[in-house]
Amino acid sequence: MTGREKEKLEMKRLAVLTLMILSVAATLLAANFQKEVEASPGESLSVELRGGSIEVVGWNRDAVRVDATISGREVSDSDIQVRRTRRGVEIDDRGSRRRGNTRVELRVQVPERFNLDLRTMGGTIAVENVSGSLEGKTMGGELRLSRLAGDLSMVTHGGNITLRDSNVNGSVKTMGGQVLLDNVSGDVKGNSMGGNVVYRNVRRPDGTSTGKSVQISTMGGEINVAEAPDGAELSTMGGNIRVQSARGFVKAKTMGGTIRLAAVDGWVDATTMGGNVEVKMVGNPSQGDRHVNIDSKGGDIELVVPAGLDMDIDIQIAFTRNSSKKYEIRSDFPLQTTTSPEWDSSHGTPRRIIQGRGKTGSAKHKIRIRTINGDVKLVKGK
């Protein structure tokens, strides 16, 4: 390579480097926007962003204040549009939509009693200290919600949800994140298609039960419920299920995890395709329906029942020929136990059955337990 060619190559490299530096500098451009308009409690805020986060906070003034930061290759404070309408205030980023790579970080203060309709294509939605009709949707961010009151309907297609310290009716949903409801009153449901769902201290506004069961379904995460005063219907395709306290009933199903029900004052239906099951029944054994149906396709089962419960007990352990452990039924109640003498191949893998049957009192409540390659323990509680 001649000296002239080397010089040309160096000039090309310098030009490319300069363009890269200018490109990076352009992406760091930012503009700030501020505006305040009069508003009355009970009006509405509508926000629609092509890309960016939305934060809404309630305050004790009859006004809506908008603070925004716009970042991108070309930015201007005219990128944000704020309009007064008959219903309230509308905000959007239409001014920036003719350009790409522009993002808005929006913070809005509204009267504490205000209705919300918030939509963004790619950012977090956070709402605090607002009461009213509260709606929101983000295609790719978290929902952070606290100190809310009223009717709630919020959806994210790809983020976690946190709802705290609120009195709301409605639902929060995520297609691919975790859901936490903490210190929440009202008839509110949390759903996830692919994450854990946790309920902590969810109740009615007056502290009593809602009259409706806790209903949770997730396609791929754990379910944790602290209290279910009116029962629980729980389902996950791939995680553990835990309930600390429930009245009425618990119906739990997982395709691949353990089930632990710490204190159930009612009936139980628990099914797992591959895990252990631990259930403790509490309360007055002479009141209500207290039947039990527990089924595991591969784990140990322990059931604690109140002393004095009238039971018709039917327990089966299926153990396969290739299993190395000696399985057994251990019971605090008298059972007649038998083991099938021959291997049964009707289910594919040859297996034998350990059967335990017995009755206590009037045998009013059916106790049915099934497992494969696991032990069963039936315990007399207090």
Q: What is the chain's pLDDT, residue by residue, as a tens digit (382 residues)?
A: 666 666 666 666 666 565 555 554 444 466 788 999 999 999 999 999 987 899 999 999 999 999 998 876 555 556 788 999 999 999 998 755 545 567 789 999 999 999 999 999 889 999 999 999 999 999 889 999 999 999 999 999 889 999 999 999 999 999 878 999 999 988 888 888 878 899 888 876 555 555 577 888 887 789 999 988 889 999 998 889 999 999 999 999 998 899 999 999 999 999 999 899 999 999 999 999 999 999 999 999 999 999 999 999 999 999 988 877 889 999 999 999 999 988 888 877 888 999 999 999 999 999 999 999 999 999 999 8
Per-residue model confidence (pLDDT) at position 101: 61
Per-residue model confidence (pLDDT) at position 25: 46
3-state secondary structure the chain: CCHHHHHHHHHHHHHHHHHHHHHHHHHCCEEEEEEEEECCCCCEEEEEECCEEEEEEEECCCEEEEEEEEECCCCCHHHCEEEECCCEEEEECHHHCCCCCCEEEEEEEEECECEEEEEECCCCEEEEEEEEEEEEEECCCCEEEEEEEEEEEEEECCCCEEEEEEEEEEEEEECCCCEEEEEEECCEEEEECCCCEEEEEEECCCCCCCCCCEEEEECCCCEEEEEECCCEEEEECCCCEEEEEEEEEEEEEECCCCEEEEEEEEEEEEEECCCCEEEEECCCCCCCCCCEEEEECCCCEEEEECCCCCEEEEEEEEEECCCCCCCCEEECCCCEEEECCCCECCCCCCEEEEEEEEEECCCCEEEEEEEECCCEEEEECC
Domain ranges, residue 314? 213-382
Per-residue model confidence (pLDDT) at position 348: 78
Per-residue model confidence (pLDDT) at position 26: 45
Tell me, yes or no, whether 231 and 176 share the same domain.
Answer: no
Asked whether residue 14 is assigned to any structural domain, the reply reads no
Per-residue model confidence (pLDDT) at position 24: 46
Tell me, yes or no, whether 269 and 378 share the same domain.
Answer: yes
Domain end (from 182, 203, 224):
203
Asked whether residue 317 is assigned to any structural domain, the reply reads yes
Asked whether residue 1 is assigned to any structural domain, the reply reads no
Domain end (from 141, 165, 187):
141
Asked whether residue 6 is assigned to any structural domain, the reply reads no
Per-residue model confidence (pLDDT) at position 78: 63
Q: How many domains does the chain have?
A: 3
